A and B are shown apart, each in its own frame.
Chain A
Amino acid sequence: MNQQDSANIDPTATLSGQAVTAAPTEAPDAPLRQDPAHTEHLHAKSITENALEGKTMIKIEDLSFSYDKGKTNTLRNISLDIPEKQVTAFIGPSGCGKSTLIRCLNRMNDLVETSCITSGNIKIMGQDIHAKEVSAIELRKQVGMVFQKYNPFPKSIYDNVAYGLRIQGIKKKSVLDEAVERSLKNAALWDEVKDRLKDSALGLSGGQQQRLCIARTIAVRPKVILMDEPCSALDPIATAKVEELMLELRKDFTIVIVTHSMQQASRISDRTAFFYLGELIEYGSTTHIFTNPTAKQTEDYISGRFG
């Protein structure tokens, strides 16, 4: 946990008391990227590492979070910056708090009555999202979420995608039609469903349903998309499609993804944060984390020695 590489500290990263290692800013060393996770397919996509220096979208400062009114902290003193229009992956063993953190970002944890922030804050686009004047409803329109288990509503495909717009009071059919088509195209689902938009969404395959959920989320044009293990319920082919889609979406959206699959993190993310027991152990460029982890725990985890 020493910060031996101080020259490489990302200027946007905030140091937490113990554990944040800096992300290297220089271009990755191509030969180093030879961990088994890399596939031909993703090499072709070639994540541009120099994009790491994006504008900060989400700034988490010294965040501690508790599910039981502060008796025990599920998250402890987390500080990290998530840059705009990049894919940031949260990895770590089960129970490490990565899902809790991502649910803090759009205040989904508000649903748990006893939950509370015990210290620190989260700023999205410079605004503290737990401030009194912030409405969770408005926040969630800007920070969309895709869940682990695909959960389309028991409505038609069209109604699913149009839902977010309809609740904002948009009723004009032409606007809705246009938004539905654009979102489904963005989610790479249009060609598969364009002839049966009025059919029930529950009739689609698992992968299609998950992409429909993504389409539903991007239909309201959020700034940030949070994805909580979006591929864990999908087969490899559907997973590949969703991953491809994420790489496409990063052009327009800031994406934060929680994943259990280290291969997936290495394939699609620009940055990776490793959590362990509610603490952020290491955060940096994906290449750095997977090839040259600073912390011992990170190395153990990604090499499969535990977790």
Chain B
Amino acid sequence: MSEPKHNTNNSPFGKSSGFNVLGIGKQEAIKYFFGGNATLAVVLIVLIVAFLSYHAWNFLPQYQKSLTLYRLSGQEFTDYASDQLTAQKELSSLASQVPAYELKHRLGALYDLEAVHSDFKNKAQKKLIAERKDLQRAKSNLDKVSSKQPAEQTEMLAANKRLQEATQKLKIRAQEILSEISYSDLNNKSLITDSKYLEDIRSSVVANIITAKTSNFIKTTRKTEAEKTAEIMALPHMQELAKARDMLIAPQKPFNNYLKKYRLIASDSKGQAETHSTAAGRKEAQLIKAKLARSEQDRKMDRIKAERILTATPNYQKLNEPLYNSLDEHLEVQNQLTDQTGEALASMPMASDFQGVKARARVTKIKDLGEALFPLVEAKRQRMETWSHTQPVSIGQSVSGFFMGTQWVSNSSWQDFYGVLPLLAGSFLVALVAILLAVPFAVGGAIYVNRLSTSFEQRWIKPIIEFIGAIPSIVMAFLGVVVVGALIQEHSQNPLLSWIPSFPVEQDKTILTAGILLALMSIPTVFTLAEDALNNVPKAYKEAALALGSTDLQTVIKVIIPSCASGIIAAVLLGFGRIIGETMVVLLVMGGRIAIPESISDPAHSMTGIMAQEIGEVEQGSLHWSALFMVGLLLFVIALTLNYIAQTTLRRLSKHS
């Protein structure tokens, strides 16, 4: 309209010409461009789902096939028995750990004295390299001189003097260095120390470095330690424990023999089954090769080779016959096991007899596990009795095997299991710990910055918190490996903190460590979103509340937070989603133990971690490969659900105000 001279028609309201391709004007082009971008995002989501599903879809039938073989070969049968033994062995291994912990507690600093001594020595020797070399040279010099025939008096004297000087120098330097080393320099912070031994250890180390002989101090220490150890071991409850432990171990041997025998048979059947399933393919390939062979002789050879490949289905009935017949034998070893275990548990000393916290915890655990053992053994026996190799494995079992399975075992020579439960539990538990730790800081920080701080503080705090989000996750993971884990392990020993569940922590790489780091990483996300939610609260609410005589704090707690609660909840949910998808920290800091964690001080593995760790070394298209994609798909669904819930909550908020 503005430039009528370019108009082809003379209507006063005609479209202005100008940019026009295929009848699409400038405005439309811009509109389509943005529309296209929006569509692309939707298409990408669909493509991601399609891609994940494409790689994962094969998992369930493949897993079903694998489980079928597992049953046909009789491995399942022997694993029932194996489970019984594993559960019982847990008791004996706990019982073996108890004496060491009890000794350590009762002996105190004496128990770790030698360890401290050698730690000090290593530290000092690293700094004394030059002096020790000098001493070495002086010694060899003396040897050389004294071996000369005839020995020259002056040379001997000089050599002796040199040796003395070198020794003296080393001694002085060693004393200097050792006086600077103290208990706080120890690498292993869990060692027990006592200041009364410090001077003795120092001088003993000096002597040891110079003479390279066991010092008297160490000798006497060893002697007293041995005496006291004997004394403690002779205590009635320690004796009882030792007896109970032996009783636990004794029936393991016959049971193990039984297992070995039949596992071998099952393993052999599995080999035949596997050979059979691949043989057909190989035979075909051999025949093709025979066809293409150049000489008559080669062709003949290949054909013979092809014929030699057995494609007959193994006779599973016959293969499994020994297993069915072994039930009586199993009952015998099982009864031995349960009888002796029962006896051992009955003669187990009380937990209160032990002084060490860790020893006591283990004794308690033995009793708890012991009670659960007998029903488990019984249930497994039941399964063995009703077991039949012909019973088909349904696809439902494959589904529940994945979602409810408690084992994730890959690349096993025995049988692979892909149960996602330990990973799921690890991921959720660490995310829960992280979010519980992060929310007070993030939401509290957001409230403070948004409502209570001065503008100066606001200018500084906000960018700093948001900067945490820019720290690469691998750096966070390093921080966890080097600093946070050790710090928690060390300080959790403090008796003042023993009220915290699962304290004291016995390892440095645990769910708690990873949770703390993830909390740190999720704080910026939750903080920023919560602050946005607070910002969206109309200013009028604040004015109204203040005009009624509220204090700042009353305004925030009674008016501001309730009116943006759903925004804060959405922020927390999105933070949770951020954490559950985080990989590096959980991979490096959580310990990588694939088992359902019992407490937050256990190491665990995660869904993201397992994918990152295993996808690189898996054959494309294999069962393991598709299992990893199943995990990916599950993770994607979880993240999507969390996001969806967060968005609905937010929408409810905007409808409300």
| Chain A interfacial positions (CB closer than 8 Å to B) | 106, 108, 111, 113, 137-138, 140-141, 144-145, 147, 149, 151-155, 163-164, 166-168, 200, 202, 213, 216-217, 220
The digit string for B548-581, where 1 denotes a CB below 8 A from any CB of A, is 1111001000110011000000000000000000
Q: Does B40 contact A (CB under 8 A)?
A: no
- With beta carbons under 8 angstroms apart, the residue of B538, B541, B543, B550 that contacts A167 is B550
Check A153–B550 contact: CB distance below 8 A: no
* Chain B residues with CB under 8 A of A108: 543, 546-547
| Interface positions of B from 32 to 54, Cβ below 8 Å from A | none
Q: Does B310 contact A (CB under 8 A)?
A: no
Check A154–B657 contact: CB distance below 8 A: yes
Q: Does B544 contact A (CB under 8 A)?
A: yes
Q: Does B545 contact A (CB under 8 A)?
A: yes
In the assembled complex, the CB of A243 is this many whole angstroms from the nearest CB of chain B, namely 21
Known contacts A153-B559, A167-B554; A147 and B544 CB within 8 A of each other = yes
Q: Does B211 contact A (CB under 8 A)?
A: no
Q: Does B656 contact A (CB under 8 A)?
A: yes
Known contacts A167-B558, A202-B656; A153 and B544 CB within 8 A of each other = yes
| Chain B interfacial positions (CB closer than 8 Å to A) | 455, 538, 540-541, 543-551, 554, 558-559, 562-563, 656-657
B552 nearest CB neighbor, chain A only = A137
* Chain B residues with CB under 8 A of A141: 548-549
- With beta carbons under 8 angstroms apart, the residue of B543, B544, B551, B559 that contacts A137 is B551
* Chain B residues with CB under 8 A of A200: 656
Check B549–A145 contact: CB distance below 8 A: no
A106 and B538 CA atoms in complex are apart in Å by 20
In the assembled complex, the CB of B556 is this many whole angstroms from the nearest CB of chain A, namely 12
* Chain A residues with CB under 8 A of B545: 153, 163
A147 and B545 CA atoms in complex are apart in Å by 11
A227 and B550 CA atoms in complex are apart in Å by 18
Check B657–A202 contact: CB distance below 8 A: yes
Could you write out 24 A-B pairs with CB less than 8 Å apart? Answer: A106-B547, A113-B455, A140-B547, A140-B548, A141-B548, A141-B549, A144-B547, A145-B547, A147-B540, A147-B543, A151-B538, A151-B541, A151-B544, A152-B544, A153-B541, A153-B545, A153-B559, A154-B563, A154-B656, A163-B545, A167-B549, A167-B550, A167-B554, A200-B656
Check B656–A163 contact: CB distance below 8 A: no
In the assembled complex, the CB of B202 is this many whole angstroms from the nearest CB of chain A, namely 62
A213 and B547 CA atoms in complex are apart in Å by 11
Between A and B, how many residue pairs show CB distances below 8 Å? 67
* Chain A residues with CB under 8 A of B656: 154, 200, 202
A226 and B649 CA atoms in complex are apart in Å by 37
A217 and B551 CA atoms in complex are apart in Å by 16
Check B549–A153 contact: CB distance below 8 A: no
* Chain B residues with CB under 8 A of A151: 538, 540-541, 543-544
In the assembled complex, the CB of A99 is this many whole angstroms from the nearest CB of chain B, namely 12
**Residue among B548, B551, B562 facing the most chain A CB atoms (10 A cut-off):** B548
A144 and B545 CA atoms in complex are apart in Å by 10
A164 and B558 CA atoms in complex are apart in Å by 11
A200 and B563 CA atoms in complex are apart in Å by 12
Check A163–B549 contact: CB distance below 8 A: no
* Chain B residues with CB under 8 A of A166: 558
- With beta carbons under 8 angstroms apart, the residue of B455, B540, B562 that contacts A155 is B562
* Chain A residues with CB under 8 A of B549: 137-138, 140-141, 164, 167-168, 220
In the assembled complex, the CB of A107 is this many whole angstroms from the nearest CB of chain B, namely 9
Known contacts A147-B540, A151-B540, A151-B543; A164 and B563 CB within 8 A of each other = no
B559 nearest CB neighbor, chain A only = A153
Check B543–A163 contact: CB distance below 8 A: no
Check A213–B544 contact: CB distance below 8 A: yes
Check A111–B546 contact: CB distance below 8 A: yes
In the assembled complex, the CB of B120 is this many whole angstroms from the nearest CB of chain A, namely 60
- With beta carbons under 8 angstroms apart, the residue of B548, B558, B562 that contacts A216 is B548
A143 nearest CB neighbor, chain B only = B547
* Chain A residues with CB under 8 A of B546: 108, 111, 140
A144 and B550 CA atoms in complex are apart in Å by 11
* Chain A residues with CB under 8 A of B563: 153-154
* Chain A residues with CB under 8 A of B551: 137, 167
Check A137–B550 contact: CB distance below 8 A: yes
In the A-B complex, the 4 residue pairs with the smallest Cβ-Cβ separation, listed nearest first, are A151-B540, A141-B549, A145-B547, A164-B548
* Chain A residues with CB under 8 A of B558: 163, 166-167
B656 nearest CB neighbor, chain A only = A154
- With beta carbons under 8 angstroms apart, the residue of A111, A155, A163 that contacts B548 is A163
A111 and B552 CA atoms in complex are apart in Å by 11
* Chain B residues with CB under 8 A of A164: 548-549
In the assembled complex, the CB of A101 is this many whole angstroms from the nearest CB of chain B, namely 16
In the assembled complex, the CB of A156 is this many whole angstroms from the nearest CB of chain B, namely 11
A82 and B462 CA atoms in complex are apart in Å by 45
Known interface pairs A140-B547, A163-B548, A216-B548; 15 further A-B residue pairs with C-beta atoms within 8 A, sorted by A's residue number: A108-B543, A111-B546, A141-B549, A147-B544, A151-B544, A153-B544, A154-B562, A154-B563, A163-B545, A163-B559, A167-B548, A167-B550, A168-B549, A202-B656, A220-B548
* Chain A residues with CB under 8 A of B543: 108, 111, 145, 147, 151
A138 and B541 CA atoms in complex are apart in Å by 19
A145 and B558 CA atoms in complex are apart in Å by 19
In the assembled complex, the CB of B649 is this many whole angstroms from the nearest CB of chain A, namely 15
In the assembled complex, the CB of A199 is this many whole angstroms from the nearest CB of chain B, namely 13
A154 and B564 CA atoms in complex are apart in Å by 10
A144 and B546 CA atoms in complex are apart in Å by 10
A138 and B547 CA atoms in complex are apart in Å by 10
A142 and B508 CA atoms in complex are apart in Å by 59
A155 and B562 CA atoms in complex are apart in Å by 9
In the assembled complex, the CB of A197 is this many whole angstroms from the nearest CB of chain B, namely 18
Known contacts A113-B455, A153-B559, A202-B656; A144 and B540 CB within 8 A of each other = no
A148 nearest CB neighbor, chain B only = B540
A165 nearest CB neighbor, chain B only = B548
A151 nearest CB neighbor, chain B only = B540
